[in-house]
Amino acid sequence: ATSRLLVNYQEPYRSQILDYLFKPNFGASLHILKVEIGGDGQSTDGTEPSHMHYENDENYFRGYEWWLMKEAKKRNPKIKMIGLPWTFPGWIGKGENWPYDYPDVTAYYIVSWILGAKQYHDLDIDYIGIWNERAFNSKYIKLLRYTLDKHGLQQVRIIASDRLWEPISFVLLLDSELHGVVDVIGAHYPGTKTVPNALLTKKKLWSSEDYSTFNDEVGAGCWARILNQNYVNGNMTSTIAWNLVASYYEELPFGRCGLMTAQEPWSGHYKVEAPVWITVHTTQFTQPGWSYLQVDGHLKGGGSFVALTDGLGNLTIIIETMTHNHSQCIRPPLPHFSVTPQRATFYLKGSFYKVETLQVWHSRLGFESGNSSLFQQLHPIKVWRGSFSLDLNVDEVYTLTTLKTGQKCGCPEPPPPQPFPSNYKDDFNIRNPPFSEAPNFADQTGVFEYFVNASDPGDHVFTLRQVVIQRPITWASDADQTISIIGNFKWVNMTVTCDIYIEKARDGGVFIAGRVNNGGIYVRRAQGVFFWVFADGTYRVTSDLAGEEVLMKGLSGVRDNAWHTLTLNIQGTSASGQLNGYPLWENVTISKPSNGWAAIGTRSFEFAQFDNFHVEA
């Protein structure tokens, strides 16, 4: 759920951001885009909607991943596409929190997503994963391969298991049938190392999720080091960064752990961070299908190099000399090592002996000085009798290449940053919305979608509706309530108003909230000021999403299947609430938290509608 805010950037800024990520020979020029197959559950920074909320439901226009894949493909038709589920809709498990009890159902569900990508968006998915960072099931993987083949999807490759090198490598060596259907072993955060069993399988080895580090200079150093050393130390021929672009509220988990930052659609501000320019050193001068030359890429004075060729005479060498303290990734811990300035001499042999000059691109990450030089073209190097030497300082990246195509784009400066508008309204009155979700609302449990209320003749034809009515097969600790957050985490005093419509009789309920202080994988422990009304005619004020810390309760007269207006006013240490414009409770003392987002949500996984949302902070 990391590209949530990207979709509602205005043009031309949205296209500029996409160009920086995907346009060849422009910015990051990415080779691979891996997306979540939304499963209605919390997957780190929010929930992504499933293409099948319910068993009899199929819709290939929800969420933003279809759009993102199409935008990537439009800029680079050769980009490789990967799909991987984190969560699954509850019906897949028939009540159990497990996707493998009915493997035929799960395989049908995943293959539907691949077929839908092609049928509705003309997208070819190249690789499909099993279940992100959770157990794999050999029977399911074999059935998935069978189901893919049955639907003419022989070209879709299977990657497993997006967790650790083991037990998947060991199982592949024992089970020849499984060995025949898994094409790539994908490990997460391998720390540039692999294991003997993985090498013994003779499979392609990928770091299928890595980086996840704050995108400052140290993040760039981490990325430079692992892009090389995942191959040099671990024989991995692909490294995939989580995440593409930090387009989610920064105070959610792992804020700004993207290659670039675009978390302000309301202002148009974005930032092309240093990791983008580190990426370019590899991506602009190699392509999928190029081969690593099998040389020992450790440099004597510390640091590393890799060399790749297209097999047609082109050669690209990428060198990095990142020091320990300037290249620590978020995980795993990095053992100490030292890097010193050095002179390195390279010898080109075989068909490369004929190479006369190499183009040179250079980056220096400036930590103490604070001024980095990123992706600058230097004078070409003359190769004399198959060799050349280079003086390497610390914290540098060099690309030496026969290709003359490299370029650093010049784009206009984006607008300056602005906080989220302090007066924000959404009436959800949009007949043909470009996306299924309303802008800036970031669902943290459940899924909130635009809805056309055909039965309502009045003011509430177009609403926002919570649509997940069964707890999903979870990946994280989703709340027992549904919740969508919006706004500025720094907000202290605020008035939140929203029309609400409880659909579930007897035990249904909804809330509006302010000062909400947690989301993502920590959503269960969210605190704030929550104003609840229930179908049984009662209300509550609680200081937590779980509804356990009750500050006030009483009768409201609210009923299900009728519209009511809730207003929550928080000033300093005091809060009050109105129902349909009349005071319902007041002077409730608030001790914590001191600030946070606004939010809406429901008591359980139930249908409910919201309209005319307004926050003034």
pLDDT of residue 136 exceeding 80 = yes
CB–CB of 5/244 below 8 Å? no
- Predicted structure pTM score: 0.98
Fold matches, 31-163 and 423-616: no
Strand partners, 443: 484
pLDDT at 409: 83
Closest to 55 measured CA to CA, from 15, 89, 22, 16: 89
Determine the pLDDT at residue 343: 98
Mean of pLDDT values over 277-301: 98
DSSP conformational letter for 324: G
pLDDT digits (tens, 9 = 90+) for 66-124: 999 999 999 999 999 999 999 999 999 999 999 999 999 999 999 999 999 999 999 99
pLDDT of 132 > 90? The answer is: yes
Domain boundaries, the chain: 31-163, 423-616
- pLDDT 10s digits, 513-537: 999 999 999 999 999 999 999 999 9
Q: Which residues are the active-site residues?
A: 133, 209
pLDDT value, residue 456: 79
Sheet holding 269-271, edge to edge: 245-246, 260-264, 269-271
More confident of the two residues 368 and 294: 294
**CB-based burial label for 436 (10 Å; 0-12, 13-18, 19+):** middle
pLDDT for 371: 85
Q: What pLDDT shows up at residue 369?
A: 74
Q: What is the mean pLDDT of the chain?
A: 97
Domain 423-616, what fold?
Answer: Jelly Rolls (2.60.120)
Within 10 angstroms of residue 446's Cβ, the number of other Cβ atoms is 28
Q: Is the pLDDT of residue 150 over 90?
A: yes
pLDDT in tens, 2-51: 999 999 999 999 999 999 999 999 999 999 999 999 999 999 999 999 99
Name the CATH superfamily, with its identifier, for domain 31-163. Answer: Aldolase class I (3.20.20.70)
